């Protein structure tokens, strides 16, 4: 009892600090990193297949650069650096605003770039719901004055390729258009000043019943019941117009609405959606694309097409382990419902006016981009990986010895193998028990062990052991590298076959 008290006192002593990472952050161990690396490789391979470049920007920006870009609520979540003299700095909150700053500052008028980096939000962390204060974003954007909707379609094609290669299961890419939303709201009688707040309610339609949204709009946001009932017809069009089975049919059905078509904004939105869907057909992705008039997302800076992709199978299963993808607009209302779409794994849209905010003459650079919910994708892949063994290192050969005194021979062999670009390890002890050495190989999934024994060395041979089958073969030292290479090749072929 006394001992326990003494321990407690020691823990509470001011010189002693708690050994932990900052609230809302995590270390990633080797297993997480192995999964993350393989996901990131797939993603980057796709970006490169589309000719994208990459850039890097500092982890913090001048406070003024971020100021006023994330709405009132988002702004409160920015991490500031201490004023230690000099400039006032803030940690980046997303990758889009730094990208726009980069384009304006360097007078870059055209660029297809990706960036994968951590961003920082002083949010109330909800680890069980996967809301962290430090998390990765993975953005692909096309900047430049081009013909309408061609780059937009390529963004959707990229999402399609990435989700398909990762094997995440069925997914749906929802589409909408900022101009159509604006037009719908105007036609229904929503005041321009209320567009944003109405948007954020409407956007919840994939998770919440219409009755609740109606209630929120009327009681909390003071929209008249007549206006809300007007709205329902449009935002629930996908549910209500049951005769429309394709996106184009739904668009065509809205096009017959004279009141809507009298609004130039709505009209242009519907026309652009038609073009975008036709491009999706050319890219072979139309069947995964769905026009959804309730998709609103944050409207802070989107000016044209907006999209969001939902993975169907995992949407419920992983909702407790994930972080939402975040284009800035997402977090104007960082409530429990911040995560736009429960299974949302990619989101984006066109933002033609953001770069101009940074240009001294207000020169615009039209942009469209998509942010992958890479943390959510990591979580899904980690769930899938629980079923399989994840190798955290790639070692191919372990140089072991059953007898004492072989340290020097093992070191020489390691050198030979490393210099032949074969991934090799050996025990760091002069005399390690053979059992420990073999256990290490099995635990790490190392396919081959080379057994270095005195008696055999004198005959100029070593044994190569297949760790799984435990079969051993003698090989002359002079043929070792070739023998290892051919066995590794066979091991890789077997590995590929086992996956077929």
Q: Which residues are annotated as a binding site?
A: 94-96, 121, 137, 141, 297, 301-302
The size of the interface with its own copies (CB under 8 A), counted in residues, is: 95
What residues between 274 and 313 interact with its own copies by CB under 8 A?
279, 282-284
Map residues 87-106 to x or -, x wherever contact with its own copies holds by CB under 8 A.
x-x-x---------xx-xxx
* SS3 call for 374: helix
* Residue 465 near residue 471 (C-beta atoms within 8 A): yes
What is d(CA 49, CA 83) in angstroms, rounded to the nearest whole number? 44
If the CB atoms of residues 257 and 432 are measured against its own copies, the closer one turns out to be 432
What is d(CA 139, CA 368) in angstroms, rounded to the nearest whole number? 11
- Smallest gap, in angstroms, from Cβ of residue 256 to its own copies? 26
Q: Does 80 bind its own copies (CB under 8 A)?
A: yes
Residue 162's φ and ψ, nearest 5 degrees, are -65, -50
Q: Does 144 bind its own copies (CB under 8 A)?
A: yes
If the CB atoms of residues 73 and 418 are measured against its own copies, the closer one turns out to be 418
What is d(CA 233, CA 239) in angstroms, rounded to the nearest whole number? 10
What is d(CA 347, CA 67) in angstroms, rounded to the nearest whole number? 23
The only residue of 40, 55, 227, 481 in contact with its own copies, by rule CB under 8 A: 55
- Smallest gap, in angstroms, from Cβ of residue 306 to its own copies? 19
* Residue 285 near residue 175 (C-beta atoms within 8 A): no
Map residues 441-480 to x or -, x wherever contact with its own copies holds by CB under 8 A.
---x------------------------------------
What residues between 176 and 235 interact with its own copies by CB under 8 A?
none
Q: Where are the beta strands (DSSP E) in 270-321?
A: 289-291, 305-311
The only residue of 69, 113, 321, 327 in contact with its own copies, by rule CB under 8 A: 113
What residues between 406 and 445 interact with its own copies by CB under 8 A?
407-408, 411-412, 414-415, 418-419, 421-425, 428-430, 444
What is d(CA 291, CA 177) in angstroms, rounded to the nearest whole number? 9
DSSP single-letter state for residue 22: P
Residues making up the annotated binding site for L-histidine are 94-96, 121, 137, 141, 297, 301-302
What residues between 371 and 410 interact with its own copies by CB under 8 A?
392-395, 407-408
If the CB atoms of residues 189 and 362 are measured against its own copies, the closer one turns out to be 362
- Residue by residue, what is the 3-state secondary structure of 388-404? CCCCCCCCCEEEECCCC
DSSP single-letter state for residue 131: B
Q: Does 82 bind its own copies (CB under 8 A)?
A: yes
The only residue of 6, 9, 41, 58 in contact with its own copies, by rule CB under 8 A: 58
Residues 6+ apart with CB under 8 A from 433: none
The only residue of 20, 128, 222, 496 in contact with its own copies, by rule CB under 8 A: 20
Burial class (CB in 10 A: 0-12, 13-18, 19+), 248: middle
Q: Does 26 bind its own copies (CB under 8 A)?
A: yes
Q: Does 59 bind its own copies (CB under 8 A)?
A: yes
- Smallest gap, in angstroms, from Cβ of residue 496 to its own copies? 17
Q: Which stretch binds its own copies (CB under 8 A): 118-126, 266-274, 455-463, 492-500?
A: 118-126
How many CB atoms are located within 10 Å of the residue 219 CB? 9
* Residue 87 near residue 62 (C-beta atoms within 8 A): yes
The only residue of 13, 19, 388, 435 in contact with its own copies, by rule CB under 8 A: 19
Q: Are strands 134-143 and 367-372 parallel, antiparallel or unpaired?
A: antiparallel
């Amino acid at each position: 009892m006394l001992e326990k008290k003494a321990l407690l006192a020691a823990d509470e002593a001011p010189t002693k600090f708690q050994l932990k990472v900052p609230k809302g952050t995590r270390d990633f161990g080797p297993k997480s990193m192995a999964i993350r690396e393989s996901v990131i490789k797939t993603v980057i391979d796709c970006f490169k297949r589309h000719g994208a470049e990459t850039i890097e920007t500092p982890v913090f920006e001048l406070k003024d650069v971020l100021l006023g870009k994330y709405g009132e609520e988002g702004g409160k979540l920015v991490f500031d650096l201490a004023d230690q003299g000099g400039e006032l700095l803030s940690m980046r909150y997303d990758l889009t605003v730094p990208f726009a700053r980069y384009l304006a500052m360097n007078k870059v008028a055209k660029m297809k770039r990706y960036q994968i980096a951590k961003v920082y939000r002083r949010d109330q962390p909800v680890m069980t719901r996967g809301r962290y204060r430090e998390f990765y974003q993975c953005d692909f954007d096309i900047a430049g004055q081009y013909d309408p909707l061609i780059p937009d379609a390529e963004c959707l094609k990229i999402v399609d390729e990435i989700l398909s290669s990762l094997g995440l299961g069925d997914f749906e890419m929802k589409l909408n258009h900022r101009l159509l939303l604006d037009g719908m709201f105007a036609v229904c009688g929503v005041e321009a000043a209320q567009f944003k707040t109405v948007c954020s309610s409407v956007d919840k339609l994939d998770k919440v019943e219409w009755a609740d949204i109606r209630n929120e709009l009327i009681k909390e946001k003071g929209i008249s019941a007549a206006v809300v009932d007007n709205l329902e017809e449009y935002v629930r069009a996908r549910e209500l117009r049951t005769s429309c089975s394709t996106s184009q049919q739904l668009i065509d059905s809205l096009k017959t609405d004279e009141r809507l078509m009298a609004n130039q904004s709505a009209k242009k939105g519907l026309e652009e959606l038609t073009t975008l869907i036709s491009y999706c057909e050319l890219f072979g992705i139309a069947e995964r694309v769905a026009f959804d008039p309730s998709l609103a997302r944050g409207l802070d800076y989107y000016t044209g097409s907006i999209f969001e992709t939902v993975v169907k199978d995992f949407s419920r299963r992983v909702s407790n382990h994930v972080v939402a993808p975040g284009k800035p607009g997402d977090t104007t209302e960082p409530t429990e419902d911040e995560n736009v779409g429960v299974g949302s794994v990619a989101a984006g849209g066109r933002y033609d006016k953001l770069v101009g905010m940074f240009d001294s003459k207000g020169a615009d650079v039209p942009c469209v981009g998509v942010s992958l919910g890479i943390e959510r994708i990591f979580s899904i892949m980690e769930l899938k990986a629980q079923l399989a063994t994840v190798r955290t290192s790639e070692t191919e050969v372990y140089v072991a010895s059953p007898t004492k005194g072989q340290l020097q021979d093992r070191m020489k062999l390691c050198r030979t193998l490393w210099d032949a670009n074969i991934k090799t390890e050996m025990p760091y002890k002069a005399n390690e028990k053979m059992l420990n050495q073999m256990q290490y190989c099995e635990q790490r999934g190392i396919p081959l062990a080379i057994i270095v024994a005195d008696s055999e060395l004198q005959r100029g041979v070593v044994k190569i052991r297949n760790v799984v089958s435990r079969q051993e073969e003698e090989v002359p030292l002079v043929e070792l590298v070739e023998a290892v290479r051919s066995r590794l090749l066979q091991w890789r072929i077997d590995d590929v076959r086992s996956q077929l």
